């Protein structure tokens, strides 16, 4: 049996076209859109504005459930909630909700696994299975939005920094952002999204021309090619020179600040010299650096930098006038790092001890 289309894969035009095929009046599309993205309804039976026959037909022809939570765990401080989800084909992905003061940030995945294979990353260690559809990306956001809605609360930020490389699943990622951004639906402001890329140069160039207010983050982790290529194999294809040039062009075109991400790995990329090299690379750029002590993973021996090393690294960047934030390793006790829970589940399933 062929799979029914996932309703969340439709943008509003596609939904309208589908409903037209079902010989429905045009206004039904708006009603359903509101039900999905404003009321956050989960199944067609709940759409009280629709006639019973249409609800039944929707249930018959479309899938409303593309993401099933299989495990949800909370960090001991209660501020981080991570869920492992099963997709319709049985593939597993994860998403994380982080609450901090007024912020409610969800971190979502764009692929099952990742082909880039960064050595320190649990998702990269897992290899690539497939891209997510736009609906599967959207459903991760809606899952947490519904959870918060039950407490009269709402999401404030969406970071596309979970499993996978969003710029290798470019169209589905931007389609998801656009749908969630729609003022007639979820109405989540473009500036509240951040897309993190490992540095796929042609896609950064394309993204620069999109004229979107979405924030861009670039995972750097090293400021010299030898080291970066060891950590991030794609650096051989898109070396630092090209990457930084693309970032400068992006800033020139959009006038938007880029966030550079740097996982501090003890004795690998955390010396004051590393910081000085980074400062030189970023000189004059409209940017911000986020440093985060590495989340250790099973297949990589690197360890997080100690407090003094972190402070010295940040101080060096400060001297060069580069704004820097230290991100705490939130949810470490629940393996909230990218891909870590799915890897764990896989090893439980296969009985391996990786």
Q: Name the site residues for ligand SF4 (rule: CB under 6 A).
A: 114, 116-118, 121, 123-124, 164-165, 198, 219, 338
Under rule CB under 6 A, residue 294 binds ligand SAH: yes
Indicate whether 342 belongs to the interface with ligand SAH (CB under 6 A): no
Q: Would you call 303 exposed, middle or buried from its count of C-beta atoms within 10 A (0-12, 13-18, 19+)?
A: middle
CA angle 135, 136, 139 (to 5 degrees): 85
Residue 117 near which of ligand SF4, ligand SAH, none (CB within 5-8 Å, type-dependent): ligand SF4
Q: What number of chain residues touch ligand SAH (CB under 6 A)?
A: 17
Considering only CA atoms, which of 201, 197, 233 is closest in space to residue 120? Answer: 233
Cβ of residue 219: shortest distance to ligand SF4, in angstroms? Answer: 6
Closer of 185 and 199 to ligand SF4 (Cβ): 199
Among 254, 297, 305, 324, binds ligand SAH (CB under 6 A): 297
Q: Which helix (H) or strand (E) holds 301?
A: none
338 given a catalytic annotation: yes
Identify what 295 binds: ligand SAH, ligand SF4, none; CB under 5 to 8 Å per kind. ligand SAH
270 binds ligand SAH (CB under 6 A): no
3-class SS shares of the chain: helix, strand, coil, % to 5:
40, 20, 40
The 8 Å CB, 24+ separation contacts for 273-280 are 274/222, 274/223, 274/313, 275/312, 275/313, 275/314, 275/316, 275/317, 276/316, 276/320, 277/223, 277/224, 278/220, 278/223, 278/317, 278/322, 279/316, 279/317, 279/319, 279/320, 279/322, 280/223, 280/320
User: Are the beta carbons of 166 and 173 closer than 8 angstroms?
Assistant: yes
When the beta carbons of 118 and 177 are compared against ligand SAH, the nearer one is 118
Q: Please, which of residues 178-217 interact with ligand SAH by CB under 6 A?
A: 196-198
Nearest C-alpha neighbor of 276 from the set 316, 219, 309: 316
CA-nearest of 197, 193, 250, 244 to 219 is: 197
Residue nearest to ligand SF4 (CB): 124
Which does residue 263 bind out of ligand SF4, ligand SAH, none, counting CB within 5 to 8 angstroms by kind? ligand SAH
Q: Does 121 bind ligand SAH (CB under 6 A)?
A: yes
- Does position 244 interact with ligand SAH (CB under 6 A)? The reply is no
Using the contact rule CB under 6 A, the part of the chain among 72-80, 115-123, 142-150, 305-313 near ligand SAH is 115-123
Instruction: Write out the residues near ligand SAH by the rule CB under 6 A.
Output: 118, 120-121, 161, 165, 196-198, 219, 261, 263, 292, 294-295, 297, 337-338
Q: Which residues belong to the active site?
A: 94, 338
């Amino acid at each position: 049996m062929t799979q029914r289309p996932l309703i969340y894969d439709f943008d509003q035009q596609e939904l309208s076209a589908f409903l037209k095929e079902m010989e429905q009046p045009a206004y039904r599309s708006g009603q359903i859109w509101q039900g999905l993205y404003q009321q956050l309804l989960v199944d067609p039976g709940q759409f009280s504005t629709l006639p019973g026959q249409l609800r039944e037909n929707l249930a018959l022809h479309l899938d409303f459930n593309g993401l099933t939570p299989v495990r949800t765990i909370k960090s001991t401080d209660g501020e981080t909630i991570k869920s492992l989800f099963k997709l319709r084909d049985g593939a597993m992905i994860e998403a994380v909700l982080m609450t901090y003061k007024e912020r409610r940030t969800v971190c979502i995945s764009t692929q099952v696994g990742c082909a880039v294979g960064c050595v320190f990353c649990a998702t990269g260690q897992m290899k690539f299975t497939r891209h997510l559809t736009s609906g599967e990306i959207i459903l991760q956001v809606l899952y947490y939005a519904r959870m918060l809605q039950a407490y009269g609360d709402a999401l404030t930020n969406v970071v596309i920094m979970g499993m996978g490389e969003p710029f290798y699943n470019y169209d589905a990622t931007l389609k998801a952002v656009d749908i969630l951004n729609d003022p007639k639906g979820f109405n989540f402001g473009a500036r509240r999204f951040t897309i993190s890329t490992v540095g796929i140069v042609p896609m950064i160039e394309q993204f620069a021309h999109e004229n979107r207010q979405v924030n861009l983050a670039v995972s750097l982790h090293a400021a010299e090619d030898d080291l970066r290529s060891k950590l991030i194999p794609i650096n051989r294809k898109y070396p630092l020179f090209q990457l930084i040039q693309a970032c400068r062009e992006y800033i020139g075109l959009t006038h938007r600040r880029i966030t550079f991400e740097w996982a501090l790995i003890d004795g690998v990329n955390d010396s004051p010299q590393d910081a000085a090299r980074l400062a030189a690379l970023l000189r004059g750029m409209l940017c911000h650096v986020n440093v985060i002590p590495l989340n250790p993973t099973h297949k990589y021996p690197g360890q997080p930098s100690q407090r003094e090393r972190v402070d010295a690294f940040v101080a060096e960047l400060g001297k060069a006038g580069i704004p820097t934030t230290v991100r705490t390793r939130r949810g470490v006790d629940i393996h909230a790092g990218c891909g870590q829970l799915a890897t764990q589940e896989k090893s439980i399933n296969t009985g391996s001890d990786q």
